[in-house]
Amino acid sequence: MNTSGPDEQGLRLIPFRGLRYVPERVGSLAAVTSPPYDVVVRPDGLHHLESADPHNIVRLILPQADTAGERHRQAARTLERWLAEGVIAPDPEPALYVYEQRNDEILQRGVIGALALSPAADGIVLPHEDVMDDIVADRAELMRTAQAHLEPLLLTYRGDGSPTGAAAVIERTAEQPPLLSTTTEDGFHHRLWAVTDPAERGEIETDLARHQALIADGHHRWATYLRLQREQSAPGPWDFGLVLLVDTARHPLQVRAIHRLLRGLPVARALEELSGLFRVRTVGGPLPLALDALAGAAAEGNAFLLAGDGGFHLVDRPDPALLARTIRTDRPEAWRTLDATVLHSALLDDVWRIPDAPEHIGYIHDTGAAVEQAERLGATAVLMHPVREEVVRDLARQGVTMPRKSTSFGPKPATGLVMRSLTLD
């Protein structure tokens, strides 16, 4: 992102005493990690993680109980018990953490720390998506009850590409033996280092103070941080939130789409109600070929791929009159032409009349999982094409948020490698 001006406060990242699993007390570090809470495919993925190790972090980020209140209390009790048993332990001194993710195609490095919170109006941390109040309320109650930040947000900033400042410290640190090293079942190799030297921490902090950041993943958790901060009557640990900051000038992120599962809408009815409003064509599978057809159509305008009846249906070329009637005119053209804008404003709100509530719409990152669940439930999966990163950044700079769950940046940090207690800072 653009750097802050000389009189502006940029990113303020401070060290903290990380909570980490004690390797000798768990089956393996890989077995206790999880994707972020909103990426876990439920119920199959949840059950898989719960069975991977009795101490898997999913028991904290997605606890299972009959009521929301009991879920949150259960997570707090579990965290307290694991700390008492020595399954999880705090590091001996505050640190910033260099974090690396690597597979055959991607190398991503960044720094994890506690970031000073700021509203979007300050222009320091920029959101690009709207959030859902019920999810923010649930995450707030979990954090409030557990007194911990259990998984870092993914934020990006743009350095000048030179190996100085934070980049220099990160590269030097990555040459040292790590605190931990593990390979998760998705093929990513993870390494973590603690930066405790005051001079090196100062080098990182001074560099980051010149920058602003874009929230790449974790809008609901950032909104949760801000909500919990507003509840406090005095300055304290709630003024900071756990984040991973990645310099995308050195480590560009991937941008993927997030797909919709329309639980109560069969594909046949969805297609029938689109008659005369969109062009609808059946395209051949398997799924990768159908996604290629979606990509081709998306290059020319708004396009969606519907699935759930055993086939694939390409929906594109919306009726201009429908768009004129349903899309807000007080937003930039880049926002008005987003697939997510057209989907929510024209299709979900006007054509299909589906409320944006969890019982009606599921948000699923994996295309195969979206199709499988739609076929199993007799529902409709709406598969989306990803938004270009420069569109996301340009809208964020203008202070314009995209419809919720419009993008999925990655790779995302593995949950469970380092946590932050709100009682240790």
Q: Which CATH number fits the domain that encloses residue 312?
A: 3.30.1760
Has residue 4 got a pLDDT over 50? Answer: no
Same domain, 290 and 394: yes
Q: How confident is the model at residue 425 (pLDDT cuts 50, 70, 90)?
A: low
Same domain, 17 and 91: yes
**Averaged pLDDT for residues 382-387:** 95
Same domain, 85 and 104: yes
**Considering the domain boundaries, does residue 2 fall inside one?**
no
**Considering the domain boundaries, does residue 71 fall inside one?**
yes
**Considering the domain boundaries, does residue 3 fall inside one?**
no
**Averaged pLDDT for residues 330-358:** 94
Same domain, 189 and 336: no
Bridge partners (DSSP) listed for residue 211? 3
pLDDT at 2: 39
Nearest alpha-carbon partner for 411 in 1, 35, 29, 19? 35
Q: What is the CATH number of the domain that holds 82?
A: 3.90.1530.10
**What average pLDDT does the structure give for the chain?**
93
* pLDDT tens, position by position, 252-298: 888 889 999 999 999 999 999 999 999 999 999 999 999 999 999 99
* pLDDT tens, position by position, 148-198: 999 999 999 998 888 889 999 999 999 999 999 999 998 999 999 999 999
**Considering the domain boundaries, does residue 1 fall inside one?**
no
**Averaged pLDDT for residues 84-111:** 97
**Considering the domain boundaries, does residue 346 fall inside one?**
yes
**Considering the domain boundaries, does residue 6 fall inside one?**
no
What is the pTM (predicted TM-score) of this model? Answer: 0.84
Same domain, 127 and 174: yes
Same domain, 213 and 294: no
Same domain, 44 and 67: yes
pLDDT at 6: 36
Has residue 235 got a pLDDT over 90? Answer: yes
Contact 213, 126 (CB under 8 A): yes
For the chain, give the longest Cα–Cα distance.
Answer: 65
Has residue 409 got a pLDDT over 60? Answer: yes
Same domain, 33 and 89: yes
Same domain, 269 and 216: no
pLDDT at 221: 96
Range of the domain at 124: 13-254+410-421
**Considering the domain boundaries, does residue 5 fall inside one?**
no
| Cα dihedral across residues 204, 205, 209, 214: positive or negative | positive
The number of distinct structural domains making up the chain is 2
Same domain, 92 and 192: yes
Same domain, 230 and 351: no
Same domain, 50 and 165: yes
